[in-house]
Structure 1
Amino acid sequence: MPVTVDSPVRIGKLAIGALGTLALALGTLQAVVEPSLPLLQSDLGIGPAQGSLIFITLLITGAVVAPIAGKLGDRYGGKRVLVILMAVVSAGGLLSSLAPNLPVLLLGQILQGAMVGALPLSFILVRKHLPPGQTQVAVGVVSGLFTGGGLVGMLIAGPIAEGLSRHWMFAIPTIAIIATTLIVSRLMPDDPPTESDSRIDWLGVILLSCTLVALVLGFMAITGGGLPPLAIGAVTLAVAALAAGWVAVERRVSSPMVDLRMLATPAMWSSCLVTLFMSLGLGMTVYLVPQLLSAPADEYGFGASSSDIGLFLVPATIAGVVAGTIAGIASRRFGPRAVIIAGTVVTAATLLFLASQHDAIWQMVVARALIGFAVSVSAVALLASTATAVAAKDTGIATSLLVVTRVVGVALGAQLGGVILGAGTDPVTDLPTETAFTTGFITAGVIAALSLLVVRAMKKGVRA
């Protein structure tokens, strides 16, 4: 029989701490590649173009796995699916640590990409075992520690790879994941499935996965330039056809992967739109700020090296970690809607400030930290709001859709930033003009501000 949440088994701080520690280890494993990419390219004998495949592979896998993991968690129980998913991630981490060449490393990254599904599964667990107010705080803690893992990964990757080897920078976080998974399995009570009599909509799963892959790869191909208009039209039609096919299937099956009625509620579609707008603005910022910092100092930039840029971005990562906990507490105190509005206003205002004031490093560092904090606060508030606004049986799929929207939005935003700089490149110096950066920051600010038009549709209350 379906399980209700009237009398859930309550969990304590140790269980939440175990979930948070697991998120920290996952974030660390996810982040070790970026700062050590030059070393990986040299060790494996690959170029920058091949190196970028590592990030693309992880992104696509995460976008595909998250909604599937969320749906399976709703059906079979979050704890059960989380443990299985962590076994897949651990296998990927160990494979990456032993990889002798790029194909094996890519296979490891494909398996590691499943880690994105851990967030919606964690939200299922806290939703089932905590009351709404505590759920919002727990969501903030888990999200913040996942972001914190990114900071840890960026800081330890280089020293471990240079002091030991590139193999250990994958192995050490993987060992931590295995250990914390065992602890979570012991401390977290079982959560029986809420839809034990439903069937998995595998056709919907396949169509949604194909739509996400086609969207990301198609947008990258189009923004990369070189495609004739006919090819661009074909890519657009292919994505539209896949999306339409998925909607048609979801409307007809008895147990859809995503209940379109839930997706059509103001709480859900508004959260998805706000997440998309904020993620697009963040993605553009993530791309534009390092480009401006590395631009020649005799032009308009600062001539910063990769190591310098990494240090300049540390405050932004720390701000994202702090934002997770603050957002959970603030959402319980003031309501998610108020937190989202505040985060949106700060993000848009800071981006517009950058458009006019970007001639000092401190301006870049402070602005990037403010944006990282505001976007993270909004993202956690959106997740907390969604996790408590939908029915308990839809927690996994609803929050996973927001996670996917954010991942895809950041990727598309980065591509959009690249298009703007490419269009504003000076043919003489082969460098983007300062005006191109100004245009990019203004565009990002306007996109983020569009969230305010959508927030008004969000519900103020939550479902118990």
Structure 2
Amino acid sequence: MVVSRSAPSGRAIVVVLASCGLVASFMQTLVVPLIPVFPRLLHASAADASWVVTVTLLAASVITPVSGRLGDLYGKRRMILVSLALLIAGSVVSATTSALAFQILGRGLQGCAMGVIPLGISIMRDELPPERVGGAISLMSATLGVGGAIGLPVAAVVAENADWHVLFWTAAGLGLACALLILTVVPESPLRTPAPFDYFGALGLAAGLLCLLLPVVKGGTWGWTSVPTLGLAAVAVVALLGWGAYQLRRRDPLVDLRVSARRPVLFTNLASIMVGFALYAMALSFPQLLQAPASTGYGLGQTMVESGLTLAPNGLVMMLLSPVSARLIARFGPRPTLMSGALVIAAGYAFAIVLMDNAFELIMASVIIGAGVGIAYAAMPALIMGSVPVTETASANGLNSLMRSVGTAISSAVMAAMLAQLTITVGGLPVPSLFGFRATFAVAALAALTGVLLAALVPKTRTAPELVAA
């Protein structure tokens, strides 16, 4: 059932939910400017301090499918408020301490905010008139990239000009403002799934994902053939296979694997991994190229703030393209739109391989990649929601968000390993080489082209998806 609302009310719902999405995605890059100085600030080794970043990714990966299912069962608005409450709590914890353990706890709680985005997409489907759903979903999907792109220079400016704890107080204030707006503007969706929550399934999925993602993210530090890396990978395979068998036997599973195995859902999720991989490759490689010493002959010697500002336009392009993405989906269907977006991403990396001599050329490359990401991210939830029952939209979108997170985690490991291996020495320190940067761009382009091929395997549809009856 779709509840029609007046245009102003509908616009308010979209603006509030998109704002919450921006704040949630901002948490992913909140501490990036502090990474080089975290060992000193937290009185810890570089390896231990890196957990402040890693734990946010892990928490976001686990929470998205779980919060989506809880939203289907107990209310999507309610779960958004819970997610924002965890963000606020985590921000306050991190703002009031410099102890490593509490920083890790706080950042883990902040990562739980990522459940806001799939929940918000599902509320839009439930609450908005059909003619407004496409544009709203495109805007909400764009926040996944926009928040991080805009947040990076903002966080860098704050980190350079104020006490670093101010970043967390700012995050707490933004979370509180979002929660108040949700309470004031966004109604609770009337659509619920009358079923018990699968607690054992949630624990099994969390354990399997942690064992899978930990060696991916930390393998470069631990060693790819080390006992912890190989041991956790083996445990992940066993745990996820056992979890899958358990889910197939349950009447009300956490994730309906039969629905997830439908061709549109399966190949959309696989394509999402590739697009997530390509997106994070830019976030990791472009700043290093911009900040590489000018003496290398290819680095631009920018500061963290300058490089963040250089890359900020790609996030703005994602936002500005959201209405264009909606029209493409309505005109050609979500499948061709997803293929087009992934193809544009590949073109952006090809541009960067050839033209990377100055800041303007890198801005153009990042804008092209950002445009492709914005188009592709808008098409993914449209494909998912056209293939699942209306009572499972939040959990299905949560699973799709998880696939993007898996892509970014794999990209983090692959890109970091490549840039660490392909180096030159400048001033006695290793710096990624020109060939190393071009190699990472080529791998990212290949991932995007793989996304095109996977999207081509999704069954054809020419129209925007209609609501699917349960």
When the two structures are superposed, what TM-score results if normalisation uses the length of structure 2? Answer: 0.89
Q: Hey, what's the Cα distance between the residues in 1 that align with 2:425 and 2:39? A: 29
- Matching residue of 1:301: 298
Structure 1 residues 298 and 152: CA distance shift in structure 2, 3 A: closer
Structure 1 residue 279 and structure 2 residue 276: aligned? yes
Q: Is the 8 A contact 1:70 1:399 kept in 2?
A: yes
Could you say what secondary structure the match of 2:357 adopts?
A: coil
Partner of 2:18, secondary structure, is helix
CA displacement at 1:423 relative to structure 2: 3.5
Distance 1:308 1:164 in 2: 17
Corresponding residue for 2:253? 256
Letter in 1 for 2:208: T
Determine if the alignment matches structure 1 residue 451 to structure 2 residue 454: no
Q: Is the 8 A contact 2:277 2:408 kept in 1?
A: yes
The superposition leaves residues 142-188 of structure 1 with CA deviations (integer Å, 9 ceiling, x where unpaired) of 23346444355334434545655333322233223223322222322
CA distance in 2, matches of 1:34, 1:220: 16
Residue 60 of structure 1 and its aligned partner are, at CA, apart by 0.5
Is residue 463 from structure 1 mapped to residue 461 from structure 2 by the alignment?
no
**Aligned residue runs from structure 1 range 181-260, under 5 A:** 181-196=179-194, 198-224=195-221, 226-228=223-225, 233-260=230-257
Per the TM alignment, residue 229 of structure 1 is displaced from its structure 2 partner at its CA by 6.4
Deviations 1:276-298 (A, max 9, x none): 11122222232222233333333
1:22 CA drift (Å) = 2.5
Distance 1:142 1:230, change over 3 A: closer
User: Taking structure 1 as reference, are residues 154 and 288 closer, same or farther at Cα in structure 2, changes over 3 Å only?
Assistant: closer
Structural RMSD (CA):
2.6
Question: Within 5 Å, which residues of 2 pair with 1:333-372?
Answer: 333-372=331-370
The AA in structure 2 aligned to 1:439 is: A
Deviation track 1:208-227 (CA, whole Å, cap 9, x = no partner) reads 11121111111234334635
Matched-pair contact (CA < 8 Å) for 1:25–1:174: no
Give 1:398 deviation, angstroms: 0.9
Report % sequence identity.
25
Question: For residue 310 of structure 1, what is the aligned residue in structure 2?
Answer: 308
CA distance in 2, matches of 1:315, 1:304: 16
Question: Aligned partners of 2:273 and 2:204: how far apart in 1?
Answer: 21
Cα 1:222/1:183, change in 2 over 3 Å:
closer
CA separation of 1:184 and 1:333: change in aligned 2, threshold 3 A = farther
CA distance in 2, matches of 1:442, 1:152: 25
Q: CA deviation at 1:400?
A: 0.8
Query: Which ranges in structure 1 are unaligned for 5 or more consecutive residues?
Result: none
Deviation at 1:389, TM superposition (A): 3.2
Match of 2:63 in 1: 65
Q: Distance in 2 between matches of 1:16 and 1:227?
A: 44
Deviation at 1:356, TM superposition (A): 3.4
Query: Which letter maps to 1:130?
Result: L
Q: Could you tell me which amino acid in structure 2 is paired with residue 207 of structure 1? A: G
Residue 332 (structure 1) aligns with: 330
Q: Where do residues 61-210 of structure 1 align in structure 2 (5 Å cutoff)?
A: 61-145=59-143, 147-161=145-159, 165-196=163-194, 198-210=195-207
Which residue type is aligned with residue 360 of structure 2? W
Between Structure 1 and Structure 2, how many residues are aligned? 459
Greater alpha carbon shift after TM alignment, 442-451 vs 32-41: 32-41
Shift of 1:269: 0.6
Whole-angstrom distance in 1 between the partners of 2:324 and 2:34: 31
Post-superposition offset of 1:78: 0.6
CA 422–190 in structure 1, closer or farther in 2 if over 3 Å, else same: closer
SS of match in other structure, 1:358: coil
Q: 1:17 to 1:287 in 2, by over 3 A?
A: closer
One-letter amino acid of the structure 2 residue matched with residue 98 of structure 1: T
